[in-house]
Structure 1
Amino acid sequence: MTISTSTPTFEVIPPKRQHLLALGFKSFRQYRHWCQCRGLVDGLKKSHTRLQAGKCGKGFQRPAPYLTPERRQLLEQIASGELPTYRAGLIDQWLGKDEEARQVLRQLLLHVDRFTNVLRSRRFYPVGRHRLLLHGLLVLSYHHRRWIRPLEEWHCGPSINGHPRPSDQFSSLLRHLLARYDVPKFMDAAFFEGIDARGLQQQEWFMHIANGGSIRDLRMPIKLTRRMAHLMLSMKDHYRYGIEHNMRWVQVIGMGGDSLLAKTILRTRLGRNFDDDAFWSSVVLFLVNNAMMDPGCVSPLIDYVYNMKFAPRRIVRPEGGVEEAPPPQPGFTMKGRSATKLLRQVDAWHGHLNREENVVFQSWQPCGLRPYEIEEETADLGPVRWTVQELLSSWELAAEGRAMSHCVVSYSDQCADGKTSIWSISVQRQEKRESVHTVAVDVQSRTITQARGRHNMLPNKKPRSNQEQKEVQSDYIPMLNRSAHILQLWAERESLKRTD
């Protein structure tokens, strides 16, 4: 028999593979994964009848090979809280004396472990305060009385490519147990926020939508219009961001802004703080209506508005000590504001802040992150020494602000309160040392929230303003671009998240 070279046939393929191809599998690896996802024996020594029966979902459901008696015993000990190394404190704290919930956790661990490793120590979910798979399963156990389908009926099938991401498996499990209607995937983040007031509220949001409720009926920190609610429910690719983060995103888009403005706003305090929505919505609308504004001006403008309306002033008493006074303009509104005039006020405020005589001296303790130093040689810069150093007083912030032409000194009170830590990335070439990049870190969440160069420039971005264009004539731009790599090295060493 002649075999055509242009049209492949199955006759040259071994019989076992012929069966797999006929059943829709592209490879042995995909078939083995499919079997493991259903608790089937994943060997290739099966008859054609057994292969066909497996594809049709008939019988042969046995524990996956890795679910050994020792593994089962380990999972049962974890569910009972007997092993402190496996978050026993959280199990006691979240489930308390609810023996039924502990029994459900045991069943959940045993069942889900047949499809994915429930004890994986690496970060499982990209956002949330508790990011391990075990944390998500703990929260699911807490809500076991709200389950609408039996756990035993859940089987995680492979994706189109045959290898689902673990987060897809968790999404499938969530919707099997709790959802009658579609829920955007990014709302899975609620189950990695833990069992406290914030976490329980977000989980209620998920279950409200999952049972057919309107998202606009929920008491969310941002009031959603019909358009915003539609955008939020139709979001597909934002599961890497938290629920509140995505609310701000749809608020900007729903008001008529574009994705560039949305990303810029999310890098400011509006991406982390959702209080006083009635006022901040007017600020977002102002930015949307002034679409030609340089994106580099957005963060300084928001800092200015916050300090005018909300930030208490700290005044040094003649006899010593510091007392708090009301904000400079507690009645500040956006009504009737001109963008040009407002930006002039922002510039004037920055200049006032950075004058040393206007800075209230404060100092604070190190936040606990380690400084960083590295020597390297590049074609653009030659041999240099990079330093990442924490700034520990308001005067150091003022000096950094003067050198970099931005308003980092406005973070003084937050640093003194231990909420924020400011770091300066500087470079030394020969005998000259200069600041290149200023970084703000949220201490509690260990997250880099801002990272700016001179005039609030961003690395590897085309200069926009006249001030930024002047820097092109110097050798600052190559230093700023390289400092982004240094920042990433430091962030990885200190295990910092990034929203900058």
Structure 2
Amino acid sequence: MRYIDALVFIASKASYWIRPIETWKPRGTSARRQFSSLLRHLFVKYQMPRFFDSVWLVNYTPECEDWREWYLEVGQGQNIRNCRLPVSYSKKMAHYFMQAPQDLTILQALRWGQVLGMGGDPGLGRAIMQSPFPEELSNDQFWTTVIQWLIHHASLDRRQIQSIVEFLRYQRFGVFTIPGDYGVYDEVDAPAPDYSIKGRTPRSLLRDVADWHREQEQKSKIPECTWVASGIREFDFEDDNRWMIREILTSDDLVTEGNQMKHCVASYIENCTGGESSIWSMQIELQQGFKKAITIEVRKENNLISEVRGKANRLPNRRERNVLRRWAETAGLKFSRYVNV
């Protein structure tokens, strides 16, 4: 399906084709190799790294359209640093960008070029790729100082980098990933928006990271328990974004839902363990991953959607209501008269 969508994007750029499509001869037997050869036939005069092909396989958001424009410009022979990039780029960074590993995404390749162009090594680059770092392009000045710090402290155990990046992202911008929940992330008010890494030693920074992790663990301490699934179908749906609805089946996940959504769903543990209700989390896929949208209670007695709340108990918006209605139809659920859809 994603290749069909990509062909639509390619057709929309027909004015950029440098060769007739009729003269294209597929190379390779796999869909990926044939797709790659089609792109190069239509758009590329010179060499093009294969990681760049991924920009045709992503959705319709404005950022994705920008990435495809970069592809067209580089395919015509323009240097990547002359494209409208969201980060500052030097000649050396552009050189390493074009040599980035083929398994990276376009955003990861941009960061790879920065890391190696600033003097980092491939091992540091790989460690950074495994963290949320590459997606943080909107605050480049701060993250550039982080790259410089990591390069300067080359003796740091690189297994610590992911925890450091998660800590900094939370302190500065209030963004954090929810462990074990499909890569879902959430946002709160940044606790320390002026937090700076400059002048810190690895020891002092790791102490702050450890303190933060202990604080998070203490907040979530409750008796652990699980319960049997309701049997109601989970749900995946795509419009301009991908949506999914998943049942919550553990006390830890229920508390996480309540903490991040800032409502009292954690108090429903007895309803869940007793089989009276099931609790569901609707999530939307954004550029950074899945983000929680609304929490849903379904009463077992008559498969009734009895309560729907977003963050801080807000009511669902129009798009969320649309997804909710589609799920109810496919799963055979009804709505309480108190639920406004």
Alignment partners' CA distance in 1, 2:196 and 2:93: 24
Paired residue for 2:67? 202
User: Does the CA-based 8 Å contact 1:216-1:229 persist in structure 2?
Assistant: yes
Helix, strand or coil: the match of 2:245? coil
Displacement over 6 Å in runs of 4+: 445-449
Higher relative contact order (CA 8 A, sep 6+): 2
The offset of 1:289, in angstroms, is: 1.6
The offset of 1:447, in angstroms, is: 9.8
Alignment partners' CA distance in 1, 2:247 and 2:257: 21
Alignment partners' CA distance in 1, 2:189 and 2:99: 42
The offset of 1:446, in angstroms, is: 11
The offset of 1:328, in angstroms, is: 3.0
1:184 lines up with 2:184 in the alignment: no
Helix, strand or coil: the match of 1:188? helix
Paired residue for 2:245? 368
| Residues 275, 169 of structure 1: alpha-carbon distance in 2 compared, 3 angstrom cutoff | same
Question: What do the CA deviations read for 1:270-307 (whole angstroms, capped 9, x no partner)?
Answer: 13332201111111221122122122321222222222
Helix, strand or coil: the match of 1:355? helix
Paired residue for 2:154? 291
- The TM-score, its normalising length taken from structure 1, stands at 0.43
| Residues 227, 173 of structure 1: alpha-carbon distance in 2 compared, 3 angstrom cutoff | same
Alignment partners' CA distance in 2, 1:325 and 1:133: 37
1:246 lines up with 2:87 in the alignment: no
1:174 lines up with 2:39 in the alignment: yes
Of 257, 272, 275, the residue aligned with 2:120 is 257
1:212 lines up with 2:77 in the alignment: yes
Paired residue for 2:143? 280
Alignment partners' CA distance in 2, 1:312 and 1:232: 27
User: Does the CA-based 8 Å contact 2:52-2:71 persist in structure 1?
Assistant: yes
Q: Which amino acid aligns with 1:339?
A: P
Question: What do the CA deviations read for 1:385-413 (whole angstroms, capped 9, x no partner)?
Answer: xxx886121499xxxxxxxxxxxxxxx53
Paired residue for 1:311? 174
1:391 lines up with 2:253 in the alignment: yes
Paired residue for 2:26? 156
| Residues 392, 326 of structure 1: alpha-carbon distance in 2 compared, 3 angstrom cutoff | closer
The offset of 1:346, in angstroms, is: 1.8
Which has the larger Rg? 1
Helix, strand or coil: the match of 1:281? helix
1:332 lines up with 2:195 in the alignment: yes
Alignment partners' CA distance in 2, 1:261 and 1:446: 24
Paired residue for 2:207? 344
User: Does the CA-based 8 Å contact 1:356-1:395 persist in structure 2?
Assistant: no
1:444 lines up with 2:285 in the alignment: yes
**Unmatched segments (≥5 aa) in structure 1:** 1-120, 122-131, 158-162, 314-323, 360-365, 373-387, 397-411, 418-441, 450-500
Helix, strand or coil: the match of 1:287? helix
Question: What do the CA deviations read for 1:300-347 (whole angstroms, capped 9, x no partner)?
Answer: 22222222222189xxxxxxxxxx995332222222222211111222
| Residues 151, 342 of structure 1: alpha-carbon distance in 2 compared, 3 angstrom cutoff | same
Helix, strand or coil: the match of 1:392? helix
1:269 lines up with 2:132 in the alignment: yes
The offset of 1:218, in angstroms, is: 1.4
| Residues 291, 443 of structure 1: alpha-carbon distance in 2 compared, 3 angstrom cutoff | farther
Alignment partners' CA distance in 1, 2:203 and 2:248: 40
Helix, strand or coil: the match of 2:34? helix
**Unmatched segments (≥5 aa) in structure 2:** 177-186, 223-233, 235-243, 263-282, 291-341
The offset of 1:254, in angstroms, is: 2.4
- RMSD of aligned residue pairs (Cα, Å): 3.5
1:140 lines up with 2:10 in the alignment: yes
User: Does the CA-based 8 Å contact 2:115-2:147 persist in structure 1?
Assistant: yes
Alignment partners' CA distance in 1, 2:46 and 2:26: 19
User: Does the CA-based 8 Å contact 2:149-2:198 persist in structure 1?
Assistant: no
The offset of 1:243, in angstroms, is: 0.6
Question: What do the CA deviations read for 1:83-108 (whole angstroms, capped 9, x no partner)?
Answer: xxxxxxxxxxxxxxxxxxxxxxxxxx
The offset of 1:371, in angstroms, is: 7.5
1:15-26 residue pairs with structure 2 within 5 A? none
| Residues 193, 185 of structure 1: alpha-carbon distance in 2 compared, 3 angstrom cutoff | same
The offset of 1:356, in angstroms, is: 4.0
Paired residue for 1:353? 216
Alignment partners' CA distance in 1, 2:220 and 2:289: 30
Helix, strand or coil: the match of 1:368? strand
Q: Which amino acid aligns with 1:392?
A: L
User: Does the CA-based 8 Å contact 1:371-1:390 persist in structure 2?
Assistant: no
Alignment partners' CA distance in 2, 1:266 and 1:325: 24
| Residues 214, 309 of structure 1: alpha-carbon distance in 2 compared, 3 angstrom cutoff | same
The offset of 1:258, in angstroms, is: 3.0
Alignment partners' CA distance in 1, 2:29 and 2:175: 50
Alignment partners' CA distance in 2, 1:357 and 1:248: 34
Alignment partners' CA distance in 2, 1:290 and 1:443: 37
User: Does the CA-based 8 Å contact 2:52-2:105 persist in structure 1?
Assistant: yes
Alignment partners' CA distance in 2, 1:256 and 1:266: 16
The offset of 1:253, in angstroms, is: 2.5
User: Does the CA-based 8 Å contact 2:164-2:209 persist in structure 1?
Assistant: yes
Q: Which amino acid aligns with 1:170?
A: F
Helix, strand or coil: the match of 1:219? coil
Q: Which amino acid aligns with 1:260?
A: G
Helix, strand or coil: the match of 2:74? helix
Helix, strand or coil: the match of 2:85? coil
Question: What do the CA deviations read for 1:53-79 (whole angstroms, capped 9, x no partner)?
Answer: xxxxxxxxxxxxxxxxxxxxxxxxxxx
Alignment partners' CA distance in 1, 2:55 and 2:92: 23
Alignment partners' CA distance in 2, 1:203 and 1:214: 14
Alignment partners' CA distance in 2, 1:447 and 1:339: 27
The offset of 1:358, in angstroms, is: 11
The offset of 1:136, in angstroms, is: 1.5
Of 74, 87, 90, the residue aligned with 1:225 is 90
